Structures are given as C-alpha cells and as structure tokens.
C-alpha cells in the first residue's frame, strides 16, 4: 500500500502544488481550518526544534522557520521534497528537508525535538500506533505533538447528496481510481482514523491529549483555495462537517 500511496503523490505533487497554493506566511492545518497564527496551539516557537512529518511542499516548516524555529521536514515523496527545497531557497529560509517514510523515524535521535507537527498527512499512514510510538520517542519530555487530518465523519458523507452513506464503524480505507490530465489512471488511497482510535492510540503511546478541535472557517482566503478545493470539499458539505480535525497532545 505504501508503494501505491507514494506512486500517487509522486504523480500528483505538481498538480497539488499548482492548485492548492498553500501559503508560507503561516502554518495551515487543512481545508477550511484556521491557521496556526489564529489557533496558537504551538505557543512561541522561537528557537524551538520542530519536526514536520508528511511536510509535502514544506510550506508549514518554512512558516515556522520564518518565526525562528529550527525545522526538519520529512516526506515520502521525492517530488514534494524537491519542491520544498526549492521553495525554502526562494523564501531564503533554512529548513532541513529529506525523504522518509514517517511510519518509522529511524535515524532521528530520541528526546531531541520540542514539537512534532503534521498537517493533513497522517490519513495516509495505515498504522498510527507505530508512527505515534516513534513520535513519542523523538520528542523531549513535555514536547508537543500537534497534527491534523481528514475528519473521519466527513469521509462518511456522499459529496453529491451530503447524505450519510458509509458506516462509520466500518470505515477503514478509502481507495479511488482517479484520472490524470493525460488520461492515465492512478489509485488514490487514504485511511480513515476514527476519533476514538486516534485518541486511544495517543494515550497508549504515552501522550496526554490536551485538545481535539473540529474547526470550520468559511472565510479562509489563502491556502487550500476555494476554486480548486471546492470540487473536493463542496461548501454545502463542509458546512455540515468541517473536513479537518486537529489533535494537540503532549508527551508525558
């Protein structure tokens, strides 16, 4: 599965970056969610060591670096990391970007980061347990683990009718064949992580869950721009359930 997920992102990175136009002025949490400067979940990040997992084009790490944090960004996709490195150069900030499957943080020192952050990437990780164990290992005591992904309720709705069409109890994997602009087909795979499962997984891995946020901000201006994303996240639907859920937790 990981191979298929990587293949999808290698093929889609260019379009994703062109269409989503994610800002580097602030760190975002996902579609229709307020950005970090509004939510203030991370506190003052000046001189803090931040590891971003599933960093994509690196916009969040770049925004953190602009605020004085020391950042490392990891992503499985070579194209996304290439984009991130070029973007950091263009924005004249220093971020250490490299390719890595974030299910395992092998090679990263234990107790070495103040914050681990992830925006809209952990829905592509089948095994959160393994990933959270690793995140806990690399965080310092009292270090923050703040992340967002697809709201699992949102995955139960039919985008056309807004009706509940899937059984929440049975949601696990979303696999969809998508057609690329050149007519070729590619499989998109994502996982639905139920709220209770994510909460338990955090607690079982030595985290205290401080906040679960289910935001909805219709007025987002930049980043996840409405023109492109309204196809994926129709306004009628997102008014019923915001598509993003955010967890803030702390290593015990």
Ligand X SMILES: C[S@@+](CC[C@H](N)C(=O)[O-])C[C@H]1O[C@@H](n2cnc3c(N)ncnc32)[C@H](O)[C@@H]1O
3-state secondary structure the chain: CHHHHHHHHHHHHHHHHHHHCCCCCCCCCCCCCCCHHHHCCCCCCCCCEEEEECCCCCHHHHHHHHCCCEEEEEECCHHHHHHHHHHHHHCCCCCEEEECCCCCCCCCCCCCEEEEEEECCHHHCCCHHHHHHHHHHHEEEEEEEEEEEECCCHHHECCCCCCECCCHHHCCEEEEEEECCCCCEEEEEEECCCHHHHHHHHHHCCEEEEEEECCCCCCCCCCCCHHHHHHHCCHHHHCCCCCEEEEEEEEC
Residue of the chain from 19, 25, 91, 101 that contacts ligand X (CB under 6 A):
101
Residue of the chain from 103, 136, 192, 198 that contacts ligand X (CB under 6 A):
103
Establish if 55 lies at the interface with ligand X (CB under 6 A). Answer: yes
Question: Quick one: which segment of 32-40, 95-103, 135-143, 239-247 binds ligand X (CB under 6 A)?
Answer: 95-103
Establish if 51 lies at the interface with ligand X (CB under 6 A). Answer: no
Question: Quick one: which segment of 40-48, 108-116, 118-126, 137-145 binds ligand X (CB under 6 A)?
Answer: 118-126
Residue of the chain from 31, 34, 56, 152 that contacts ligand X (CB under 6 A):
56
Nearer residue to ligand X within complex by CB, 55 or 95? 55
Tokens of 24: 């580097």
Nearest approach in angstroms of CB 27 to ligand X is: 9
Residue of the chain from 42, 95, 119, 237 that contacts ligand X (CB under 6 A):
119
Establish if 9 lies at the interface with ligand X (CB under 6 A). Answer: yes
CA atoms of 104 and 251, how far apart (whole Å): 18
Nearest approach in angstroms of CB 25 to ligand X is: 14
Residue of the chain from 69, 125, 138, 146 that contacts ligand X (CB under 6 A):
125
Nearer residue to ligand X within complex by CB, 36 or 75? 75
Number of residues lying near ligand X (CB under 6 A) = 20
Give residues in contact with ligand X (CB under 6 A): 2, 5, 9, 22, 54-57, 75-77, 80, 101-103, 119-121, 124-125
């Amino acid at each position: 599965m990981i191979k298929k997920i990587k293949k999808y992102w290698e093929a889609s990175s260019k379009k994703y970056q062109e269409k989503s136009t994610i800002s580097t002025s602030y760190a975002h949490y996902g579609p229709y969610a307020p950005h970090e400067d509004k939510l203030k979940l991370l506190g003052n990040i000046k001189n803090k060591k931040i590891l971003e997992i599933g960093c994509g084009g690196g916009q969040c790490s770049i925004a953190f670096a602009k605020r004085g944090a020391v950042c490392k960004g990891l992503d499985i996709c070579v194209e996304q990391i290439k984009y991130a490195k070029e973007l950091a150069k263009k924005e004249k900030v220093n971020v250490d970007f490299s390719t890595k499957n974030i299910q395992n943080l092998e090679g990263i020192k234990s107790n070495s980061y103040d914050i681990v952050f992830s925006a809209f990437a952990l829905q592509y990780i089948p095994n959160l347990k393994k990933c959270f164990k690793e995140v806990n290992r690399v965080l310092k005591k009292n270090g923050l683990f703040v992340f967002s992904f697809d709201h699992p309720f949102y995955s139960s709705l039919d985008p056309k009718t807004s009706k509940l069409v899937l059984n929440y109890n049975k949601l696990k994997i979303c696999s969809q064949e998508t057609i690329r602009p050149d007519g070729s087909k590619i499989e998109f795979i994502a996982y639905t992580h139920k709220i209770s499962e994510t909460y338990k997984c955090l607690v079982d891995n030595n985290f205290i869950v401080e906040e679960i946020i289910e935001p909805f901000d219709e007025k987002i201006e930049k980043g996840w721009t409405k023109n492109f994303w309204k196809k994926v996240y129709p306004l009628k639907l997102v008014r019923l359930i915001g598509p993003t859920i955010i967890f803030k937790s702390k290593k015990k």
